[in-house]
Structures are given as C-alpha cells and as structure tokens.
Chain A
Amino acid sequence: MSLRENLWKPLLQAALPGTAQATAPGRPVLPELEALATGGSAEARLLNQAAAVAIYQRAGELPTRRLPAVAEAAPAEQRPVLPPERQKLWKRLTRQTARLRPEWRRLQQESLALFAAEGWRFPHHLLPELLELGNEARDDLSLREVLLPLLGERGLWLGGGPATALTVRAPWNWVVDWRLQELPLERSPAACGLLLRRRRRQDPVLGREMLEASWPDASAALRTALLPALLPGLSLADEPLLEQALDDKRREVREQARLLLARLDGSAYVRRMEARIAAGLQLRPLKKGAGVELELKAPAWPESAAEAAEWQRDGFEKPAFASASGRLLIAEDLLKACPPAWWLRHLDCDRERLLALIEASPQHKALGSGLIGSVLGFGDGKTAAALLRQPSIWQRQPAARLLPLALAPLLPMAELEQHCLARLTGPSDLPEEVWSLGHDDEVSPAFWPAYFRAAARAQPEAERLLPAFLLLNAAPQQLPAWLNFVRAELSPRFAEASEAQRRDFDERLELLACRCELYIVSETIPRESLT
C-alpha cells in the first residue's frame, strides 16, 4: 500500500460509512497528528486529521511518474534556417484571412517553392503552422511536395517520425522523408504516394522504378494510392506497368490504371476506345440536302466471348448496356478516352466545325461531355480555348460553373495575353473565372508595353487592371516596373473610387507588392528597381 493510501485509508474507513456507524479513526498514521486526534467531537477530529493529511500530502507528493518509453530526439538540422527577411515576408503572406483566397494560396506556394529551392528550412516555432498548411492541402499534393524539404529534420521528426510514434494516430500522416530512395511501405499510403510523386516529378524513370520495386509488397490500399502519383511525367513508357495494373485483383487499382491509360495518347487502351466508338460517332446526312448532323450511337455489348472479356478488362460491365441511358453513358466514357486530335481526324473537320456540329446535334449534351472530358484528360489547350469561347456547349453540362476553372489552365498564354489586353477596354468572350487563376507559364515580355498603354486609359476597375491571372504570372523581372506603374499611375485614380473598389485595389496591390518582395528577398531582382 502506498503512503498516500496509508494516510487516507483510516480516515476514509470512518468517513465513508459515517461516524454514526463507524468508530472515528484511532491512532493517526502520522505521529505528528496525535494532537489532532484528541478532544472535540469525533467528526471534528476526523476533519482536523483530514486537513493535516491533505496539507502533508500536498506538500510532500507530486503526481510524477517514470514514462515506460520515450521518443528518440530529433537529429541535428542539415539545412540553414529561413533568414529573418524571408520569415517576415512569410508572416505577411499568411497573417490575414484574405490570405486564404486561392490567389494568396498560390503565392504562398510559390514562396515555399522558392525557399525550398534556395535550400532553407523553416524555424521550429513555425513548424506546426506549416504542417497544418499541408493538412489543409488535401487536394493540392504539389503544395505538400514543396513543404517536405522546408520541414527540416525537426519537421520530419515531428510530422511522421519518433515524436508521434507513441501516439495512436499521427495528425500529419502525409509527412515523409523526401530523401528516401525506396518507398517506406510501413508508412501511410498518403506519405508513400507523396514521396513517389516527388520522385516522379524529378525523374519519371526513377519514379516508375521506385514503384515497380515496391509493387509486389504493397497492400491493395497502397497500390491504389500510389498509381495516381505516376501522373507527373506520364508517358507511353508507363504503359506496361499500367496494363499490368488492369489485371489487379483490387477494383480501385484497376480503376486508377484506367484513368491514367485514358490520358496516354497512342496507348493500346486509347486505341481500343477509339475503335469501340468509331462506328458510333458519325456524320449523318440530313434530308433534302440540309447538310449533315453529328450522331452518337452507343455501342452494344460484344457477342464474342474474347471481345467481351477485353471490354470487361477495360472496366465495362454487361448490365450497364441493358438500358439506352446506360449505353449513352458508356459512349460518353469512350469519347472521353479519345484524344481531341482523334475527333478531328475521325470527323475530318477543324475545331470550330466540330463545336458547331456538337452544338447542333440532338445528342449535344453527351457529345459535349465527351469532348470536355477528352480535352481535360489530354490537356489540349487550343480546343479548351475554343470550348471556352462557346459557352453554349459547356454551360449545359453538370457542374458547369466549375468547368471554366478546369479548362482555363490549359489555355495557351499568348491567347490569354491577347484577351487580357482586350478586356482592359471592352468585354471579353472568355468567362470571368479565367482571370482569377494562375497559369503554368509566365506572361511574355512583349505583353507589357501594350498593357501599360491600355491600362493608363482603362477605367479604374481593379479586377480588370490587376487580374489575379496577371498578378500571379508576371515574370519576376517584370514585377518592379509594374509595381512602380501601379503605384504611380493607377493608385491615384482609385482615390475617388468606391470603398469596395478601393479595398479590392489595395488587396491586389498588396499581392503584387508581396510577390515583388519575394523576388527581392531572394535576390532575383534588386530592391533599387523600386521607386
């Protein structure tokens, strides 16, 4: 029995049943309490002893314990800590709620990528914030990729290493040591997928080899999580592995393999899809020589057993062919797996004609869905631009509001520049969503003289003069001149604008200034270039 129990037991033996039933404690455990055990009522004596024991115990005991196991300490840092000027900028980029908007998120990611490329790591006190940022980026694996080297040894220790080994579940299960050469199969699918994706982006061949080496030992859940990591750098060299995955025993793995194969122009899978829909997608002459109409006929379930087995391997099930609507959905899926160039070849027409045919077709919805899926899957920028200029096709689709956001990043930069200039002085025939996004390419130097001329004359409307598209895609070298121009020429014109316009302008100006500061602190552009 512990001392604590020894002290309280005699008192509780009297206090629990009550002094009416039990005799009050006799001789106290502590000789020092003798004086308190005499005189007064039994209850008072009990309370006096309880008081003394309480103080005695409080003064002499701490509820400490020896831990059964403790974590190994984090190793020493290898990378230097982010310098104060960059830390200050990071604080500026994250301190306000407006920073949760997509354009600010994009700038944060750009900054993180630059810091990572420069070889820094974040200071320890910012690690929980950084890890939480990664947690929020469930649908943005590229952000998580960028974060990994910035976590340093401490972040890896904290995120997925010994620090959390003794907990039931690590809150940052995606964190992985980005320097590993083999997939750590004992870690979470999210962590393995992220490592593979990072390796794949650096070297597609090494990435594939990494996956192939782990494939036999990977669980079904892991195989499902790993396949999408092949997307960066996807090429026909991946086809054998993906064809092999089509025979996987897990349905989700086969599904992932099909999604990737459907993006591989020239793959056997795509050729099979083209062959299956070719007869169903035809131009049908209209009566009385009124031209032609694009017709979509859904294929039927094949009669030959060998052919049926091949359809099944590609993910089609016979019951889905039972109804007309089911067959139409299958036709849509087949069309999505055919590259836009095949559509043009097969129908022997150009893009504008194709869109006109689709719009005029009685099956325009299924055809439009098929073409949009094809454009998104194969990343055809020219067809994406043609589609965006013809809203009648995509506006009839489900989730039409999101389609411009998905199609816009595919647009060729030259086309965007042209529309951006036109939009300064008039309406644009591209949806407004286009201008709220970043792009993979930078704005060309040739764009800027025309922009400065047009912007100097344009109405003071912040979303036209400083669209997010431009703020995020202007080349770093162009930023000081643009910031100088905005401060000197545009800012005074917003002094008289409405409060909402002024606030919008200020926020966009702050984004531009922050981006400019990013390249100043990273010494890409000199601070003296700002006036």
Chain B
Amino acid sequence: MSEPVDIEALAPDTASLTAARSLARADKWPERGAAGPALWGLCQGSGAKPYKTLAQPETGRFKCTCPSRKHPCKHALGLLLLAAREPLPPAAAPLWAAEWLEEAEKPRSPKVRAPRSLTPDPEADARRRANVSAGLQELSLWLEDLLRRGLAQLPAEPYAFYDRMAARLVDAQAPGLARWIRELAALPAQGGHWTEQVLERLGLIQLLMRAYARLEQLSPELQAEVRSQLGWTIPQEALLAEAGQPDRWLILGQVFGYDDQLRYRRTWLLGHDSRRYALLLDFAFGSQPFKQTWQPGVTLDAELVWFPASWPLRALVKPDYRLSAASTRPEGIDSWQALRRLRAEALAANPWTELLPACIGELTPQLQLDGLWLQDRHGDSLPIWQGFEQSWLLLALSGGHPLSLSLEFDGERAYPLGVWSDEGYLPLAATA
C-alpha cells in the first residue's frame, strides 16, 4: 500500500489533497475493498448515485465516475488516504471495477503516459505555464484591488476572501502561491505589526509574479526556484538518478510540525568535507509513521542530491548509504551578525528564503522572563522558538557558559538542533 508521502506526491494540487482528507473516513465509503493491489469503493457524493472509484497506486491507475478532470481526483486520493490509515478489507472487485481493471490491463498506447523525468513534458509544461499565467493575471488584479481599497479593510474580510483567490490559483496549477494567499488570512488576526507583515508578504508575492513574467531571462537555478515556489514538483525518482554529492553527513537534528492532518519533519544534515547543509523534508498522514527514520546525531556515509534551486537546501539521500564514524566539530560561524550576513547571501540568491541552518560557536543560553535567549560573544541575543521543548537540557549543558550549537533560523527565532560538547555531538531531541 502507498505510504502517505506518496499520496501527497500524487495529488494534482493542495485543494485536491485537502478535499481528499475529508473523504478519508470509513463512513464516506459504505462499500469498499482491496482486490489485490487495486482499491475500490463507492463514495456517496452530493448526487443520487455514489461515485465509483478505483485506485491502483503502484501502477498509477485511477478511475472515478465523478465529473472532476483532476487526476487522480479527490475521491481516489481519499480512498488511498483511508487505506493508509486502516487497510481495506480484502474483497473481490465488483463487476464495474473488474471491467475497469481488465481494460487497464490492455497494453497502453504510447501517448498515455511518458516516464517522468527532470525535464517536464514540453507540451504539458506549456499548457501548465499558460494556466499559471492566467492565474497570476487574476492574482495581479486581486492584489491591485486589495491595495486600492486599503489594508485597513482586511480584518473585516472573511476567510473566503482569501480562499476564493487561493482556489483559483490551485485551479491555475499554482498551488505554492495558493498557500501563500491562504497564509495571509491569519495575519490580520495576529495583531502587532500585522500591516507590515501583510505588506511584506504581498511584496514577496509581487516579486514572485514579476520573476515568473520574465522566467526565461532568469538563471536555470532561479527558474527552478520560481517554479518550485509556484508549486511545480520534481519527480523524486528522476532526481535520485542524477549525480550526487558524496560525503559523511551528520544528522544535526529534526523539527516536527503539523499542517492540518499532515505531519511534516525537517531533518537537517551537514557534510563533513563539503560543509554543505541539506534538508530532508518528509510528510506522513495522521498517526502513520514517516517512511524513513533519520536518527539525529548519527553520521551517514551517503550521496545526496539536491532539488534544483538558487540556494539549494532540500535534498534526497540516495538509497545506498551506511552509517559512518562521527564527524568532527565544524568551524561554523561565531555571531548573530555572521548569521545575518549568511542570510543576506541566501536572500541574494533566493529572495524567498525562509529557513536557514547554521552552526554557531560561543552561544550562551540565557533564561529571561519571556523565555530562553541565545547570547553571542558580542552580547547580542536572539530568542529561541517558543515551541522548543529542550530549554532545560540546553541550560543544563551550558550552565551559563558558551556552547557550540547547530540551529534552524526562520528570520525571527532560532530552533536549536544540537550541541557540541567534549564528548561529541549531542542532538536535542524533538517531539514528533
């Protein structure tokens, strides 16, 4: 059965995935079963007759009687998500499903599906680009209208105001940008400097739209970055076939989070010789385990391949890796100002950079009334992320003395990942 991470990758857009999550309940599927590798089910929609859905994820075959043009549709995705949560009972395929399966077994015509590669199918890509351009035109009008009316109106706007635009962007195959628009909705309610934050976000969206408008003039790396921000995905199997960077990779630490029912995990790696950082991003649905386990503090002798980007961080580990001896302490940087310079470099390459990993020496954790801060050797302090659960451990390790730390930085706060001590690297465990 498909792992949840695969289901996520199968979704044509985030709206389909969101809709599929609401269908991943047994009561939505009065009849369902698993006929070998094929999953079938009847899903009661708004019409009189239930939709007949068939999903064969291993072969990428999905069929449904619903009117959606998306492939796979939300029903097929919902059936997969349900099966990932609780295996469907083995049951012979009903007649309609058996016929579909028989049809599917017939040899496919060559134009049905081309093998996925890093270079997108030009025809499909051109279609998508046209779709995205149309979506961005609408977004541009929406933004101009928003600014004409003024940001002061935003607190009175319902969520649907943002959601409608986001849905349009999903339809236009720009789910990445749709996420940005949905995230805007939460800002006015946060108070504080929300107007500044909204305008900052709108500015970055504008920058992305302008970059897309002159995509051909950008470097291939920046093109890849823009496409990724808009929501283009890259087939992982194709990426893994590319040449990688061999090294001994120390798993610095992990950060876990939730996005609706989807759990995500960021695993940060640091190369011993290359001094490169890498981010492994994993997803799992509900309480399902992540597909792969990465143990913080462990060093891997592995080859990594990065997703094309102007400041590459996200990577994949090639399957043939083995555990290696612990690596030595990296030199890293020694102050927050140095991190600022690093961030400036990253932003120069990729203006939409959100997260940065870093190894910083001589940081002293300091407990204050408003939480834990990390003070550098110049006396400048930066707050630690409120959700960090190992504050006492960090204080115990430090005792008011400086430490060498690895951390994730989001522009506002630091999230410590691990500490180098005399005994070696000690990861600061996070809660999944």
For the complex of A and B, list the 8 residue pairs with the smallest distance between their C-beta atoms, beginning with the closest. A18-B150, A50-B203, A73-B400, A74-B399, A51-B203, A47-B206, A59-B344, A51-B207
Rounded to whole angstroms, the CA-CA distance of A122 and B126 in the bound complex is 64
Contacting chain B: which of A160-168, A297-305, A345-353, A477-485?
Answer: A160-168
Contacting chain A: which of B130-138, B167-175, B335-343?
Answer: B335-343
Task: Enumerate B117-169 residues with CB–CB distance to A below 8 Å.
Answer: 143-144, 147-153
Chain B, residues 368-399, CB within 8 Å of chain A (1/0): the string is 11000101000111110000000011011101
Chain B, residues 183-195, CB within 8 Å of chain A (1/0): the string is 0000000000001
Residue with the highest number of chain A CB atoms closer than 10 Å, among B150, B153, B339, B412: B150
Rounded to whole angstroms, the CA-CA distance of A52 and B351 in the bound complex is 10
Tell me, yes or no, whether A102 is within 8 Å of chain B by CB: no
Tell me, yes or no, whether A180 is within 8 Å of chain B by CB: no
* A15 and B151 contact, CB distance less than 8 A: yes
Tell me, yes or no, whether B237 is within 8 Å of chain A by CB: no
Chain A residue, CB-CB nearest to B413: A63
Shortest Cβ distance from residue B410 to the other chain A in the assembled complex, whole angstroms: 11
* B202 and A125 contact, CB distance less than 8 A: no
Rounded to whole angstroms, the CA-CA distance of A83 and B411 in the bound complex is 41
Tell me, yes or no, whether B355 is within 8 Å of chain A by CB: no
Residue with the highest number of chain A CB atoms closer than 10 Å, among B147, B351, B411, B426: B147
Assuming the A-B contacts A18-B152, A63-B382, are A11 and B343 also in contact, with contact meaning beta carbons closer than 8 angstroms in the complex? no
Q: Which residues of A contact B381 (CB under 8 A)?
A: 64-67
Assuming the A-B contacts A154-B399, A158-B395, A167-B367, are A50 and B348 also in contact, with contact meaning beta carbons closer than 8 angstroms in the complex? no
Rounded to whole angstroms, the CA-CA distance of A124 and B400 in the bound complex is 12
Shortest Cβ distance from residue A386 to the other chain B in the assembled complex, whole angstroms: 50
Q: Which residues of B contact A127 (CB under 8 A)?
A: 392-393, 396
Tell me, yes or no, whether B196 is within 8 Å of chain A by CB: yes
Q: Which residues of A contact B401 (CB under 8 A)?
A: 73-74
* A66 and B150 contact, CB distance less than 8 A: no
Shortest Cβ distance from residue B331 to the other chain A in the assembled complex, whole angstroms: 21
Q: Which residues of A contact B373 (CB under 8 A)?
A: 67
Rounded to whole angstroms, the CA-CA distance of A277 and B356 in the bound complex is 78
Rounded to whole angstroms, the CA-CA distance of A124 and B422 in the bound complex is 12
Contact partner of A59 (CB less than 8 A), chosen from B347, B364, B379, B392, is B347
Assuming the A-B contacts A67-B368, A164-B367, are A54 and B204 also in contact, with contact meaning beta carbons closer than 8 angstroms in the complex? yes
Shortest Cβ distance from residue B194 to the other chain A in the assembled complex, whole angstroms: 11
Task: Enumerate A1-56 residues with CB–CB distance to B below 8 Å.
Answer: 8, 11-12, 15-22, 41, 43-44, 46-55
Q: Which residues of A contact B151 (CB under 8 A)?
A: 12, 15-16, 18
* A125 and B426 contact, CB distance less than 8 A: yes
| Partner-B contacts on A (CB < 8 A) | 8, 11-12, 15-22, 41, 43-44, 46-55, 57-67, 70-74, 124-125, 127-128, 131, 153-155, 157-158, 162-164, 166-168, 171
Q: Which residues of A contact B397 (CB under 8 A)?
A: 124-125
Tell me, yes or no, whether B267 is within 8 Å of chain A by CB: no
* A71 and B400 contact, CB distance less than 8 A: yes
Chain B residue, CB-CB nearest to A12: B195
Total number of A-B contacts with CB less than 8 angstroms? 161
* B340 and A61 contact, CB distance less than 8 A: yes
Chain A residue, CB-CB nearest to B149: A18
Chain B residue, CB-CB nearest to A22: B150
* B339 and A62 contact, CB distance less than 8 A: yes
Chain B residue, CB-CB nearest to A168: B369
Assuming the A-B contacts A50-B203, A66-B380, A71-B367, are A43 and B400 also in contact, with contact meaning beta carbons closer than 8 angstroms in the complex? no
Q: Which residues of B contact A20 (CB under 8 A)?
A: 148-150
Shortest Cβ distance from residue A270 to the other chain B in the assembled complex, whole angstroms: 47
Q: Which residues of A contact B426 (CB under 8 A)?
A: 125
Tell me, yes or no, whether B99 is within 8 Å of chain A by CB: no
Assuming the A-B contacts A15-B195, A163-B367, A164-B367, are A128 and B392 also in contact, with contact meaning beta carbons closer than 8 angstroms in the complex? yes
Tell me, yes or no, whether B200 is within 8 Å of chain A by CB: yes
Rounded to whole angstroms, the CA-CA distance of A59 and B341 in the bound complex is 7
Q: Which residues of B contact A166 (CB under 8 A)?
A: 367-369
Q: Which residues of A contact B375 (CB under 8 A)?
A: 67, 70
A-B contact pairs, 24 of them (CB 8 A): A11-B199, A12-B199, A18-B147, A18-B149, A20-B148, A20-B149, A43-B148, A44-B206, A47-B143, A47-B147, A47-B203, A49-B203, A53-B203, A59-B348, A64-B381, A65-B380, A70-B366, A72-B400, A73-B400, A128-B396, A163-B395, A167-B367, A167-B368, A167-B369
Rounded to whole angstroms, the CA-CA distance of A182 and B241 in the bound complex is 71
Q: Which residues of A contact B369 (CB under 8 A)?
A: 166-168
Q: Which residues of A contact B339 (CB under 8 A)?
A: 62
Rounded to whole angstroms, the CA-CA distance of A153 and B400 in the bound complex is 12
B interface: dominant SS: helix
- Extra contacts, 5 of them, besides A53-B203, A74-B399 (Cβ < 8 A), are A15-B150, A124-B396, A125-B393, A157-B399, A158-B392
Q: Which residues of B contact A22 (CB under 8 A)?
A: 150
Shortest Cβ distance from residue B122 to the other chain A in the assembled complex, whole angstroms: 31
* B150 and A50 contact, CB distance less than 8 A: no
* A54 and B203 contact, CB distance less than 8 A: yes
* A47 and B150 contact, CB distance less than 8 A: no
Shortest Cβ distance from residue B151 to the other chain A in the assembled complex, whole angstroms: 5
A interface: dominant SS: helix
* B152 and A19 contact, CB distance less than 8 A: no
* A64 and B382 contact, CB distance less than 8 A: yes
Shortest Cβ distance from residue A512 to the other chain B in the assembled complex, whole angstroms: 31
Shortest Cβ distance from residue A175 to the other chain B in the assembled complex, whole angstroms: 12
Residue with the highest number of chain B CB atoms closer than 10 Å, among A58, A72, A167: A58
* B380 and A46 contact, CB distance less than 8 A: no
* A16 and B195 contact, CB distance less than 8 A: yes
Rounded to whole angstroms, the CA-CA distance of A59 and B153 in the bound complex is 30
Shortest Cβ distance from residue A49 to the other chain B in the assembled complex, whole angstroms: 8
Q: Which residues of A contact B207 (CB under 8 A)?
A: 51, 55
* B204 and A51 contact, CB distance less than 8 A: yes
Rounded to whole angstroms, the CA-CA distance of A63 and B143 in the bound complex is 29
* B351 and A55 contact, CB distance less than 8 A: yes
Q: Which residues of A contact B364 (CB under 8 A)?
A: 70
Chain B residue, CB-CB nearest to A46: B147
* A158 and B396 contact, CB distance less than 8 A: yes
Contact partner of B400 (CB less than 8 A), chosen from A62, A63, A125, A157, is A157
Rounded to whole angstroms, the CA-CA distance of A58 and B339 in the bound complex is 12
Shortest Cβ distance from residue A125 to the other chain B in the assembled complex, whole angstroms: 6
Rounded to whole angstroms, the CA-CA distance of A459 and B144 in the bound complex is 86
Residue with the highest number of chain B CB atoms closer than 10 Å, among A12, A16, A21, A50: A50
Q: Which residues of A contact B206 (CB under 8 A)?
A: 44, 47-48, 50-51
Q: Which residues of B contact A124 (CB under 8 A)?
A: 396-397, 399
Chain B residue, CB-CB nearest to A24: B147
Chain B residue, CB-CB nearest to A127: B396
Rounded to whole angstroms, the CA-CA distance of A151 and B152 in the bound complex is 55
Rounded to whole angstroms, the CA-CA distance of A259 and B10 in the bound complex is 71
* A43 and B143 contact, CB distance less than 8 A: yes
Rounded to whole angstroms, the CA-CA distance of A137 and B184 in the bound complex is 47
Assuming the A-B contacts A20-B150, A43-B147, A125-B396, are A64 and B380 also in contact, with contact meaning beta carbons closer than 8 angstroms in the complex? yes
Q: Which residues of B contact A21 (CB under 8 A)?
A: 150
Chain B residue, CB-CB nearest to A50: B203
Shortest Cβ distance from residue B366 to the other chain A in the assembled complex, whole angstroms: 5
Q: Which residues of B contact A17 (CB under 8 A)?
A: 150, 152
Rounded to whole angstroms, the CA-CA distance of A47 and B152 in the bound complex is 16
Q: Which residues of B contact A162 (CB under 8 A)?
A: 400
* B366 and A15 contact, CB distance less than 8 A: no
Rounded to whole angstroms, the CA-CA distance of A15 and B199 in the bound complex is 8
Rounded to whole angstroms, the CA-CA distance of A416 and B204 in the bound complex is 78
Assuming the A-B contacts A20-B148, A21-B150, A74-B399, are A128 and B393 also in contact, with contact meaning beta carbons closer than 8 angstroms in the complex? yes
Chain B residue, CB-CB nearest to A74: B399
Shortest Cβ distance from residue B201 to the other chain A in the assembled complex, whole angstroms: 8
Q: Which residues of B contact A154 (CB under 8 A)?
A: 396, 399
Residue with the highest number of chain A CB atoms closer than 10 Å, among B336, B364, B368, B426: B368
Q: Which residues of A contact B203 (CB under 8 A)?
A: 47-54
